[in-house]
Amino acid sequence: MKPQAYLLLTLVLTSLVTLSQPLAIAAGSGDWSERIPGSSNVGSRRLADREGEIFAIGPAADSDGNRVLCPAPDDSNPAAESEFCRGGIELAELSRVIDGQHFEDTAQSHSRVLLFNRELAPFETTVILGLQNKLTDLLAGRSGSIVVLEPDTGAVLALATTLADEDGLVSASPPGSIFKLVVYATGLEQGVIDAGTSFSDEVEYNGVPNFGRRVCGGDLRTVIALSCNTSVVRAAGLSAADNSNDLAEMAAKFGIDGTRRFALIEASTVGADFDRDLGATSIGQFNVRLNPMTAASLAATIANSGTRMTPSFVVDPDAPGTEAMSMQTAEILAQGMAGAVDVGTAAGAAPKLDAALKTGTAEDERSGFDDAWTIGFAPRHEPVVAVAVFLDGEGAGRSLAGGVDAAPLALSAMDLYLSTFLRGGQ
């Protein structure tokens, strides 16, 4: 199985076994652990994407008797089942990934049934395989990730990545300027800044220069659109003077809290000592790390008027959202992101779309190259899709920039979803 397929299946499975609410699905007869792996009495369980297309089948058994969930046979892999799904996800291996517990014990009856009862219809996940494949094509071999979410449910519609390491892990990286949204949200919620706050036109503040050492300033919506470093450092200072812990608490509301929510995606964190270099932290450097899923969720939360829906491959209809910020704060951030497309850092990006974006360029001290980020949502009013794009400078062999390299992919990904895969049309 290709590394990306391994990642996708594992993420789906870990969503299944970590649901907060049991699924209302009838239990089948017998316990799967009592069945003989690979024999005719082992029920075949299928996982389907949102449109009903099968992308995984199981269980089968490899030559050592390990139960595996396999990629569905297709033209490129017609003998997946007969070859014991070589390279498939071993449930024994998965059990070591999930908190070191046994898969049988953590899955509980509803998830066991989902995977192993042949009497049930395919279980539908949130993934859109057609979109997933198109986004993989969109990456075109570049080192990066694209995540697409549904803002009002948290449904993961696609996660395309070429960055999973040999263990299938997608790492978290410095987010650069997309983290400014968290800083501004903190100040707005505290009341130390508002939409009318005017930031000085300047080249540098507290040792932090603007990108390209350009003069930058204006009201809050303008400095978000133009991504002024000096302004966000000033805003972070105002927040810290009010309460030094508020930035970390706000970050946690967006899922940036050091908690690993998916087995194969590294946790996002602001860093325990974030205030030791508040200037670098405020521009998404120092010890701040985001993974693409959390980054997409940040955009989705703004799109969803400040309510964060936890990203999941299996949506629990009864799961409540959490209020990360007020509707008013989300609206101000959204207006700044719309400005980035109209006159700011993403103004030159194509295709043209009724979207709101925040770009980011982050220094990677390990490689010496700059990475590129863009997050956003569309349409601007009543958004139905949110996206995060991360491109790795080291993999490209050169420094990248959010507005130049990542923003076009973010717009293309959302345009693709809106034009081709949105249920019921626009």
* CA–CA–CA angle 258, 112, 108 (5° rounding): 55
Question: pLDDT tens digits for 283-335?
Answer: 999 999 999 999 999 999 999 999 999 998 877 777 789 999 999 999 999 99
Domain boundaries, the chain: 3-125, 131-421
CA-wise closest residue to 365 among 399, 406, 405, 404: 399
CA distances from 21 to 26, 107, 111, 151, 297 (A): 15, 12, 11, 20, 21
d(CA 403, CA 341): 9
| CA trace torsion 289, 293, 297, 303 (10° rounding) | 120
Facing residues of 361 across strands? 372
| Residues 6+ positions from 371 with CB-CB distance below 8 Å | 173, 174, 176, 361, 362, 364, 390, 391, 392, 393, 400
* Cα→Cα distances 152→40, 42, 76, 125, 320, Å: 42, 38, 36, 16, 11
Residue 328: φ, ψ to 5°: -65, -40
Could you give the CA distance from residue 124 to residue 46 in angstroms, rounded to a whole number?
9
Structure tokens at 336: 């700044």
Q: 207 — alpha (psi -120 to 50), left (phi > 0) or beta?
A: left
Q: What pLDDT does residue 40 have? A: 31
CATH class of 131-421: alpha beta
- Give the integer Cα–Cα distance in Å for 125 and 156: 9
User: pLDDT tens across 341-375, in order?
Assistant: 999 999 999 999 999 999 999 999 888 999 999 99
**pLDDT attached to residue 70:** 56
Instruction: In whole angstroms, give the CA distance from residue 249 to residue 252.
Output: 5
Residue 217 to residue 215: CA distance in whole angstroms: 7
Instruction: Flag residues of the chain having pLDDT under 70.
Output: 1-47, 55-123, 166-168, 263, 424-426
And the tokens for 157?
A: 């519609």
Round to whole Å and give the CA distance between 253 and 366: 29
pLDDT at 37: 32
| Alpha carbon separation from 214 to 117, 159, 183, 209, 224 (Å, rounded) | 62, 35, 21, 8, 15
- Omega of the bond leading into 59 within 30 degrees of 0 (cis): yes
375 vs 147: CA distance, rounded Å: 9
pTM above 0.85, yes or no: no
How far is Cα 60 from Cα 67, in angstroms, rounded to an integer? 6
Question: Residue 349 contacts by C-beta under 8 Å, 6 or more apart in sequence?
Answer: 341, 357, 403, 404, 407, 408, 410, 411
